[in-house]
Structure 1
Amino acid sequence: MPRRAPDPAQVRAELLAVAPWVRDPDGTERPPRPALAAAVRSSLRTLEHAAPGHSVEVRVPPFGAVQCVEGPRHTRGTPPNVVETDPATWLALALGLLSWDGAADRVSASGHRAGEIARWLPVVDVHRTCEKP
């Protein structure tokens, strides 16, 4: 049974809560681990629901991983299409502060379908939304 879809207002609030640090990690205090975890997990779940499927696995250690994008389902071993990155890079992608192409040196993407997740990014575009949670 698929997980329940995240509440868009909650996802937005969680992402905007960490946005100042994502924008300026050297000049802003790092958010508490629970805030980072919540932002990563809710944005991954949003991607999972926006791009349902099992052909690409998106990993953001240590906080979470989801399978998404329609296509062949992978069930055993290492999936052929994997995207893996650190929390700061994922959050920058999820917020629209970093483009998929701009993140090329900060994202490990293997498999010919991995880049398809760019179609569903950003999860919350801070350039197009009011900054108040």
Structure 2
Amino acid sequence: MEQNEPVFVISVAAQLANMHPQTLRQYDRMGLVVPQRRNGKHRRYSSVDVERLRRIQELSTVGVSLEGVRRMIELEREAAALRDQVMQLQRQVTLWRSQAQAMGPGGVRVFSAGSTGEVSIKKNGREARARQTRSWGMFELTR
């Protein structure tokens, strides 16, 4: 069973989260945990939803208000998304570095841009300057 697959009816999800079904309905209205709907009416909760319900209960037990819980969950989601993005960027950097190493020292180019828009290109230890032309935003090289 996939974690995001909506399989639990409200009574089962409430029992798994150790809550009353009415509490789950309230959280749904507040947008804290929004289950998927089957046939337009029946709420179905996934394992991820049940874990989120448990997290809400944990935070509420230590005195965090529901608005605080909502904000904390939102921040946790943002942090997880940012962690995923950092990991993806790290993989790209690793790939680019390995490609640059495979090209050898003669094949590596380094580009840098100045504050006025000039671009400096270093290849094989030699430097060339580029300036933006007015047509099509293209660059022409000058030495």
How does the TM-score come out when normalised to structure 1? 0.22
Which one scores higher on RCO, CA 8 angstroms, separation ≥ 6? 1
Higher fraction of helix: 2
Looking at CA atoms only, which structure, 1 or 2, has the larger radius of gyration? Answer: 2
Higher fraction of strand: 2
